[in-house]
């Protein structure tokens, strides 16, 4: 029987933290425990989490069930009211070893009729990075040590009108450089060949630290301090806040992977204003062009929201068009989901069917853009990080399939001979 099983919803940061949770709970000696790490980005994510909680109780009636993550932080009473749940932990408590030391099993309601509640959000401590562990999450079949995520920033000081996450994650806090270097070295020693720096608002890195280092400055110092790290990748970036030093690194540092994921959300200026985003349509397009001028082999990803309140057909068309104008190969589409307590929820809402239809059209545009991107790579070669039998990721983050046996976690030069569906076909280069 599995001692601790963590069920994860949402972002890469949640995935990273799930790795920490699994180690902390295991270290506390928990047995027969299911921990559901929830997401609050959309109503659908919350619905799936509640469904997973109920399914877990049906399938393992004697297990301890702990619920944590953003949804549990924002509305602990809702999850505590579920008969299946034994304990609620908020986003701060879930990363503390002591939270698991005395976890109830099972948890009959105490005499007062109230379950243990989440630690209040105001209890968030200054973010040092300690306690999360360097190997928070990984990619690769069977937990092969290929790619690891390293959290360098937490929280957000901005208030986009659609977003509930700052209320769940708290204010922006940055991990000091020495802690990042220490964890990165530990990952390299453990065998990881690629590290992905992640955070809630990654381009806000450093604003709360004494010397206010930019993200680019931190990345340059990290690469200099850990020369044995072969590959570094960045998670989502705000296009209006990419600093000059980071742009310079994209152009002159081969260990920084040619892959940027931009937090665009929309392609229409009025919708961007209503979202309280920090960039314009023109700035987004300029960022994409600048990236390609500095690094011709760069591939771009982006997030877009379909069906934001007040979005007209013309406004949506501008979001649809920006996929091709920016050449977004790796598109993440989110149907707009009203979140309680956000300003966007008070705006005139679109019909849910129209939202779904627009999301489908955006996904189709993304699939076409990916096909174009992959076709452009055929006939070229690139290093590929081997993630498992017959599969890997190119420098540009394209999925690669290949024949033959290669060591998972290794980096192999490959010639791309064809594109098939959502991946490239690679042949090792001697």
Q: Identify the pLDDT of residue 122.
A: 27
The pair of structure tokens assigned to 424 is 């490239």
In DSSP terms, 7 is beta-bridged to 36
* 196 and 310 inside one domain: yes
C-alpha–C-alpha distance, residues 152 and 183, integer Å: 10
* 197 and 263 inside one domain: yes
3-state secondary structure at position 201: coil
Let me know if residue 130 belongs to a domain: no
* 365 and 418 inside one domain: no
Range with the poorest average pLDDT among 17-21, 108-112, 243-247, 254-258: 108-112
* 104 and 144 inside one domain: no
C-alpha–C-alpha distance, residues 350 and 46, integer Å: 21
C-alpha–C-alpha distance, residues 428 and 430, integer Å: 6
Residue 137, judged by CB atoms within 10 A of its CB (0-12, 13-18, 19+), counts as buried
Q: Write the pLDDT tens digit of every residue in 156-192.
A: 999 999 998 888 888 999 999 999 999 999 999 999 9
Let me know if residue 34 belongs to a domain: yes
Report the relative pairing of strands 411-420 and 423-428 from DSSP bridges. antiparallel
* 87 and 175 inside one domain: no
Consecutive H or E run containing 67: strand 64-69
pLDDT band at 269 (very low <50, low <70, confident <90, very high): very high
- From 352, 377, 402, the end of a domain falls on 377
Q: Write the pLDDT tens digit of every residue in 325-352.
A: 999 999 999 999 999 889 999 999 999 9
Q: How many CB atoms lie within 10 A of CB 62?
A: 9
Give the closest residue to 35 by CA, choosing from 53, 15, 51, 47: 53
* 362 and 386 inside one domain: no
Q: Phi then psi for 88, rounded to 5 degrees?
A: -115, 130
Q: How many CB atoms lie within 10 A of CB 36?
A: 25
Inter-residue contact 312 to 350 (CB < 8 Å)? no
Let me know if residue 214 belongs to a domain: yes
Inter-residue contact 73 to 81 (CB < 8 Å)? no
Tell me how long the chain is: 430
Domain range for 211 is 137-377
Residue in the structure block whose two tokens are 């997401």 = 39
C-alpha–C-alpha distance, residues 398 and 67, integer Å: 34
Q: Identify the pLDDT of residue 322.
A: 97
Cα angle 392, 396, 401 (rounded to 5 degrees) comes to: 25
Q: Write the pLDDT tens digit of every residue in 130-142.
A: 333 333 444 433 4
Contacts of 227 (CB under 8 A, 6+ apart): none
Let me know if residue 250 belongs to a domain: yes
Let me know if residue 131 belongs to a domain: no
* 233 and 361 inside one domain: yes
* 153 and 288 inside one domain: yes
- Write the DSSP symbol of residue 3: S
Inter-residue contact 267 to 305 (CB < 8 Å)? no
Q: Supply the angle between the helices 352-377 and 313-326 in degrees, to the nearest 10.
A: 10
* 305 and 424 inside one domain: no
Can you say whether residue 18 is alpha, beta or left, with left for phi > 0 and alpha for psi between -120 and 50 degrees?
Answer: alpha
- From 377, 396, 411, the end of a domain falls on 377
What's the mean pLDDT in 315-323? Answer: 97
- From 95, 123, 151, the end of a domain falls on 123
CATH number of the domain to which 144 belongs: 3.80.30.20
What percent of the chain shows pLDDT beyond 90? Answer: 71
Higher pLDDT, 203 or 103: 203
Question: Mean of the per-residue pLDDT values for the chain?
Answer: 88
* 57 and 149 inside one domain: no
pTM of the model: 0.84
Let me know if residue 132 belongs to a domain: no
Contacts of 231 (CB under 8 A, 6+ apart): 193, 194, 195, 255, 257, 383, 385, 395, 411
Let me know if residue 204 belongs to a domain: yes
* 312 and 420 inside one domain: no
Helix locations, 66-201, DSSP H: 70-74, 76-80, 98-101, 165-169, 177-189
Q: Write the pLDDT tens digit of every residue in 381-406.
A: 999 999 999 999 999 999 999 998 89
Whether the per-residue pLDDT at 229 is higher than 70: the answer is yes
The pair of structure tokens assigned to 122 is 């105001």
Q: Identify the pLDDT of residue 103.
A: 64
CATH number of the domain to which 10 belongs: 3.40.50
* 189 and 228 inside one domain: yes
The pair of structure tokens assigned to 75 is 């509305």
Domain count, the chain: 3
The pair of structure tokens assigned to 268 is 């229409």
C-alpha–C-alpha distance, residues 11 and 200, integer Å: 9
Let me know if residue 116 belongs to a domain: yes
């Amino acid at each position: 029987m599995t001692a601790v099983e963590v069920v994860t919803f949402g972002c890469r940061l949640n995935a990273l933290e799930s790795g920490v949770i699994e180690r902390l709970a295991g270290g506390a000696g928990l047995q027969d425990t299911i921990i559901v790490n929830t997401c609050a980005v959309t109503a659908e994510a919350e619905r799936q989490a509640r469904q997973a909680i109920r399914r877990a109780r049906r399938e393992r009636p004697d297990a301890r069930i702990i619920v944590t993550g953003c949804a549990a932080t924002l509305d602990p009473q809702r999850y505590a009211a579920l008969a299946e749940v034994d304990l609620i932990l908020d986003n701060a408590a879930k990363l503390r070893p002591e939270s698991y030391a005395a976890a109830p099993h099972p948890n009959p309601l105490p005499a007062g009729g109230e379950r243990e509640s989440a630690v209040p959000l105001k209890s968030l401590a200054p973010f040092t990075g300690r306690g999360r562990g360097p190997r928070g999450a990984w990619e690769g079949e069977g937990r092969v040590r290929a790619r690891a995520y390293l959290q360098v920033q937490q929280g957000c000081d901005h208030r986009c009108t659609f977003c509930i996450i700052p209320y769940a994650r708290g204010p922006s806090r940055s991990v000091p450089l020495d802690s990042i270097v220490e964890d990165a070295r530990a990952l390299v020693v453990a065998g990881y060949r690629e590290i992905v720096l992640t955070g809630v608002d990654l381009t806000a890195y450093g604003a709360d630290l004494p010397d206010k280092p930019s993200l680019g400055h931190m990345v340059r110092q990290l690469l200099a301090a850990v020369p044995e790290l072969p590959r570094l990748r960045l998670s989502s970036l705000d296009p209006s806040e990419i600093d000059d030093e980071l742009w310079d690194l994209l152009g002159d540092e081969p260990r920084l992977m040619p892959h940027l994921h931009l937090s665009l959300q929309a392609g229409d200026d009025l919708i961007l204003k209503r979202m309280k985003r920090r960039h314009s349509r023109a700035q987004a397009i300029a960022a994409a062009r600048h990236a390609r001028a500095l690094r011709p082999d760069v591939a771009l990803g982006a997030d877009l929201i379909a069906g934001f309140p007040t979005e007209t057909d013309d406004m949506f068309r501008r979001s649809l068009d920006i996929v091709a104008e920016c050449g977004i190969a790796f598109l993440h589409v989110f149907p707009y989901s009203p979140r309680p307590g956000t300003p966007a929820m008070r705006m005139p809402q679109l019909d849910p069917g129209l939202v779904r239809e627009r999301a489908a059209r955006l996904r189709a545009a993304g699939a076409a853009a990916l096909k174009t991107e992959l076709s452009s790579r055929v006939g070229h070669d690139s290093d590929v990080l081997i993630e498992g039998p017959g599969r890997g990721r190119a420098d540009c983050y394209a999925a690669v399939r290949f024949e033959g046996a290669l060591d998972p976690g290794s980096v192999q030069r490959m010639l791309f001979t064809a594109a098939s569906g959502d991946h490239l076909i690679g042949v090792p280069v001697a």
